[in-house]
Amino acid sequence: MIRITHNGRPFDAKRFGDELMAKGLELGMQALEKKARSAASSIVDPETGRHADVFVDRLPGNKVAIRTQGSPAFARLLEKALGVDLGEIASVTPTTVAEPYVYFAHATEDKPLIEPVIRYMRANGVDGWYDKWEIGDGESLRQAMEEGLGRMTHFLVFLTPTSITKPWVAREIDVGITRLVGGKSRMVPLRIGVEVAELSEFLQTLYCPAFDPASDDDRRRLAQRLHGVSDKPPLGDKPRYVETVASGADGFSASSRAIAHHLVAASEHGLWHDPSQTPAEIVAATGLSEEEAMLGTLDLLERGLIQQSEYGDGSIWPTKLLFVEFDAAVMGFDPAQDGVTLANRLVSDGKEIETEAMADLLGWAPRRMNSAVAFLERVGALDPRDSLASDPWRTVFLTPVPRTVRFARNHA
């Protein structure tokens, strides 16, 4: 009887085919990464006169995302060099996001119904304009309202059987719609005892969920969208999920930042599967609703920042990219700055060195060193020899390569 084996195991045609396909995909991805970095190395950012850092990130579904910290002009030149469509390469530049300020529109008769909701918002860190607290004796109602409407970033209207019949509320809604169309504020209509069919045709086109003023879950979900600070009476501490989304990488949703911040802070050494958390643990740790946690997880998965088990409890864990993106906001050290420091030291020494020895020289714990290594690896400025990784280090040795030299010079 003839027994066929492969790598010391009984031959399995399906497994052999899967392994062959995985190997082919891996080689293809490596070739794509090499091509992108080679193209970038020949281009100088027209706005800075330097070579810009380029990030080649692997995404689910055997896809690759190319991003750069160079200018939009550099991104367009890189697209041309690679022969990809306009807009395929993102120029990652930080932006400033204004603090939310909410205008609460309502009918006077509905105050007993909606005021507890507004007080709940304020007690959970949401600032805004509510006529009862804004207009003093003898003050102009119109002027005060115009100030609130002009300042708002969110127009929240409580749509009740009473308010939808009030001409004054309709005029406020017109202002909210005008600012929405002009891109100056967002609109948050909430239905209380009203069907969608009873609303105006324009409001029917907006996301207009049913809202129960007495539901803690409904109020909590609303507070997750609307946060701010104020010295008006009394304003409590922000909830955990608001605190964790106050800062971080640009272009992420509030829920994805909350999850990212939690995973980054909970990681002991900044390694793969460190930590691994179930969806229930994510909800408990962040204070997000199950729905928001699910959507935040999806955002991070699609950016290649986390991975998720396809079996069992659906646990998620960080990839190295998560630490590169969020460590600066959470950990008190910046992987990009540390990457420059590490590259400079490697170039100055000009030789291979044990990672632990380098960490001792720099006074860095494994968590910080691993994050800096991940950054340099991401921009192609280091050959970390992942195959020789040994807990608690991403790699046993650090070896400078020509791209390490160029990176150090560009950031000198």
> Each residue of 180-202: pLDDT tens digit?
767 778 888 999 999 988 988 88
Do the domains 102-238 and 333-410 sit in the same CATH topology, yes or no?
A: no
Whole-structure pTM over 0.85, yes or no?
Answer: no
Of the candidates 302, 391, 399, the residue with the CA atom closest to the CA atom of residue 353: 399
Question: What pLDDT score was predicted for residue 44?
Answer: 67
Count CB atoms within 10 A of the CB of residue 28.
Answer: 12
| CATH top class, domain 102-238 | alpha beta
Question: What pLDDT score was predicted for residue 241?
Answer: 45
Question: What pLDDT score was predicted for residue 178?
Answer: 82
For residues 410 and 412, give the distance between their C-alpha atoms in angstroms, rounded to a whole number.
6
Burial 365-379 (b: 16+ CB within 10 A, else e): ebbbbbbbbbbbbbb
Q: What are phi and psi of 362, to 5 degrees?
A: -85, -15
Mean pLDDT by 10 residues, the chain (412 residues): 55 64 68 70 69 71 71 78 68 52 90 92 84 68 72 88 90 84 80 91 84 91 64 49 46 82 92 89 90 88 87 88 89 90 87 89 92 89 66 87 87 74
Query: Which residue reads 């600066």 in tokens?
Result: 328
Of the candidates 111, 119, 120, the residue with the CA atom closest to the CA atom of residue 160: 111
Helices (H) and strands (E) in the chain, counts: 17, 13
Where would I find the beta strands (DSSP E) of 207-341?
A: 306-308, 316-318
Give the pLDDT confidence of 128-182 residue by residue, as tens digits: 888 887 776 555 566 777 777 777 888 899 999 999 999 988 888 888 888 776 7
For residues 321 and 304, give the distance between their C-alpha atoms in angstroms, rounded to a whole number.
7
Cis peptide before 239 (omega within 30 of 0): no
Question: What pLDDT score was predicted for residue 211?
Answer: 93
Give the architecture (CATH level 2) of 241-328. Answer: Orthogonal Bundle (1.10)
Question: What pLDDT score was predicted for residue 85?
Answer: 67
114 to each of 82, 270, 406, how far by Cα in Å? Answer: 56, 45, 61
Of the candidates 115, 182, 111, the residue with the CA atom closest to the CA atom of residue 153: 182
Question: What pLDDT score was predicted for residue 348?
Answer: 83
Question: What pLDDT score was predicted for residue 247?
Answer: 46
The answer to whether the CB of 186 falls within 8 A of the CB of 208 is no
Of the candidates 186, 313, 330, the residue with the CA atom closest to the CA atom of residue 258: 330
Coil, strand or helix: which one is 344?
Answer: helix
Where would I find the beta strands (DSSP E) of 92-245?
A: 102-105, 128-129, 154-159, 186-191
Coil, strand or helix: which one is 337?
Answer: helix
Question: What pLDDT score was predicted for residue 96?
Answer: 41
For the domain made up of 333-410, give the CATH fold.
Answer: Arc Repressor Mutant, subunit A (1.10.10)
Question: What pLDDT score was predicted for residue 256?
Answer: 86
Q: Based on C-alpha coordinates, what's the Rg of the chain?
A: 27
Give the pLDDT confidence of 85-96 residue by residue, as tens digits: 666 666 655 434
Question: What pLDDT score was predicted for residue 67?
Answer: 74
The two structure tokens encoding residue 228: 């701010």
User: Which burial class, exposed, middle or buried, applies to 343 when counting CB atoms under 10 A from its CB (0-12, 13-18, 19+)?
Assistant: buried
Domain ranges of the chain: 5-91, 102-238, 241-328, 333-410
